Structures are given as structure tokens and as C-alpha cells.
Structure 1
């Protein structure tokens, strides 16, 4: 995939709630975990985490969890920046985002 195609897929620079929601869901999918598992790891009720995904408004605790446990940082979640991600993490997110766009 070209750099331009990746920018489009990751919605690079798009800070709308819809784009953030899509990236947050892709982050979860790329880990192979369910919402309730992420919620437990973050220390919030499942409904709270579900709301963060659907509103495109991840908490700092959720962002910190994705970074510390999975190498998915705030720059990806909020801005779609993929260049700083480890190649294996970027590949998993690319797969999740591609599946979500179909």
C-alpha cells in the first residue's frame, strides 16, 4: 500500500469523532480483544468503554492502555498518524481498518 493510500485509510489528520471512533474500534479489533476485556483492562464498566468507542472520545486511561499494552499511541488514535507505529502494529491496524471500510 502506498503512503497516500495509508493516509487515506488511517484518515490522517482527521480529528472528527467519526474518524477517532473508527481508529479506536480498529485498535481494539487489532488486539483481538472484546470491548469488555478492554474495559476491564482500563478499569471502567463495559458500557463506559462502549460509549468511548461510539462517540469517538477515548479517555486518557484508554489511550494509555493501548499505548502501554499494545504500542498504539495517542497520535494514531487522535490524528491517524501511523509513521511512528511499529511495523507489526501498523500492519494489524491496516488490516482492521481495511476490514472496517468494506
Structure 2
């Protein structure tokens, strides 16, 4: 069983698997394509795959600052990062851009929503 830890809060993918559809839409900000929603989904994706900003930047062919800027809502994640997330981790563009998640494999959804639950509680903020 994997657990996503952030400070004193943890959420298991099994817990996320039992979330209802409307709550998942709220967490993923489904239908919202602005910088803030995009940044939350990118942070969740990075957390779900267990990468640092630097690791995701290297894997996606961009600098760490590009990832940091996207996670702070200053920019959208780059095309190469989105392609990497899809090809290597099955996190597709529909989720990353618009928050659509029903097409994602169940195990991917479980990890993403566990991360989104942690983010929604503000536990990733310093």
C-alpha cells in the first residue's frame, strides 16, 4: 500500500478510491483550465509519481524553475512535461488541462486523488 505523506496528514490511494464523483470533480477542478487549477493538478501529478520538481524537470526536458513556475500558477506546464506524464505515468492531457479524470486508469486516479486530497487541505504549503 502506498501512502502520500505531507506533514502530519496522510491519505491512502484506497481512501481516494472511495471518494464520490462530485467530490473528485471538486478536487480536480474539473472544467477549470486556468493557471491555479493547472498548478494544483501538476503538483498532484508530481506528488503521485513521487518526483521532486527537479526530477520532473529533468524527465520532462525543462528546468526546475519551469516546474516551480507552473506549480505556482505563473505558467502552464510545458508540452514536453505533459507528454512525459502521459507516456510514462498514464496521466493524460485531459486531466492535466481540464481536470477530466474518468478516462484515467483506476490506480492512476487513486494516486492522483490521494495527492489532491492532501493539497486541498493545504498541507503542501509552507
In the alignment, what sits opposite 2:114? 95
Helix, strand or coil: the match of 2:94? helix
**Counterparts of 1:50 and 1:66 in 2: how far apart (Å)?**
16
TM-score normalised over the length of structure 2: 0.77
Q: Which position in structure 2 is the counterpart of 1:47?
A: 65
Distance 2:25 2:75 in 1: 19
Larger radius of gyration: 2
Distance in 2 (alpha carbons) for counterparts of 1:32 and 1:76: 18
Structure 1 runs not aligned, ≥5 long: none
Q: How many aligned residue pairs are there?
A: 102
Q: Deviations over 1:50-85 (max 9, x none)?
A: 222222501110100000010001100111001010
User: Are 2:23 and 1:5 aligned?
Assistant: yes
CA distance in 2, matches of 1:96, 1:56: 21
Shift of 1:42: 1.2
**Where does the alignment leave 5 or more consecutive residues of structure 2 unmatched?**
1-18, 122-126
Structure with the higher fraction of residues in strand conformation: 2
Higher helix residue share? 1
Residue 33 of structure 2 is aligned to residue 33 of structure 1: no
Q: 2:40 matched to which residue of 1?
A: 22
C-alpha displacement at 1:48, in angstroms? 2.1
> Equivalent of 1:62, from 78, 81, 96?
81
TM-score, normalisation: structure 1: 0.95
